[in-house]
Amino acid sequence: MMNIFIAGHNGMVGSAIKRALLNKKNIRILTKDRTHLDLMDKSQVFDFFKSEKIDQIYMAAAKVGGIYANNSFPADFIFQNLTIQNNIIDSAYKSNIKKILFLGSSCIYPKLSDQPIHENALLTGSLENTNEPYAIAKIAGIKMCESYNRQFGDDGIDYRCLMPTNLYGPGDNYHYQNSHVIPSLIRKFHEAKLNNSPSVEIWGTGNPLREFLHVDDLANACIYFMNLKRETLETYISDNCSHINIGSGFDISIAELAKKIKSISGFSGEIKYNSKFPDGTPRKLLDITRARRLGWTAKISLDEGLKNTYSEFKSQYENNTFRN
């Protein structure tokens, strides 16, 4: 029986990993909500790890948010994410836990990276200003894992890093200001339809290009790469560039995305763009060659994923059970 701890199991990514693991045999899933385990408290984390015989840790716990949240709470984003990461990684090593899967974000890459963005682009230029604190925390997490592998790899330490693109799907946050683009648009169009509004305002120009991945695809990638043989993985990574991009392989403009969600929601009004708000990075498409060569590809199309996500949100909205 393998004991697996999911840090952040109530979040969108953590809950997707949990759903995927429930289909596996000979696995015991360990979870703790924040009332029983404060990941910001290293003594609590260490004591928990020492009390359980944990074989693998999926690090899905993080403070996350969209452009507004990142702009408004930069200190929270860098401090909380650094603290959670440091506590888990170091306590895992000191508790003799050999396997960790650390999840970062595509925002780790320079704002003006060549497209699509290869893993080697890390630390080659300036970050997007609106989410720099969060990105720096995630970069530190990658380098923490690599450093522990380099120093303690001979003792069996094997900490791996995946960098997913923009995510959407079940369990997302639909807050008016702190959500990411897809949940934000889904809620805006749905409520505009209910209220017979003449238009929906979208922040920015609509021109930026973004790549999106359904969270269930990411969960499958997490399990796949956590359990991939080390010798296979090492044919495509290096000690100082060990992270793997996880994405769908194509991007879409925010304007085209808005049209898709407008159509799915049934809203018949106008779309208006407010250029007073920042666009963020002009384009962000990941090079997923490394993941493909290692045997993984996404399965859920954007159209299918958006329809399913909207259907779930609509049901939750009617019952007032969505994350806000």
Give the catalytic positions in this structure. Answer: 134
Torsion of CA 30, 34, 38, 39, to 10 degrees: 60
Residue 119 CA to residue 139 CA, distance in Å, equals 12
Residue 122 CA to residue 77 CA, distance in Å, equals 20
> Taking the mean position of all CA atoms in its chain, how far away is CA 235?
25
Residue 67 CA to residue 280 CA, distance in Å, equals 8
| Closest by CA position to 56, among listed 90, 9, 20, 96 | 96
CA-based diameter of the chain, in Å? 63
Residue 302 CA to residue 250 CA, distance in Å, equals 10
Residue with tokens 């060659």: 289
Residue 109 CA to residue 127 CA, distance in Å, equals 6
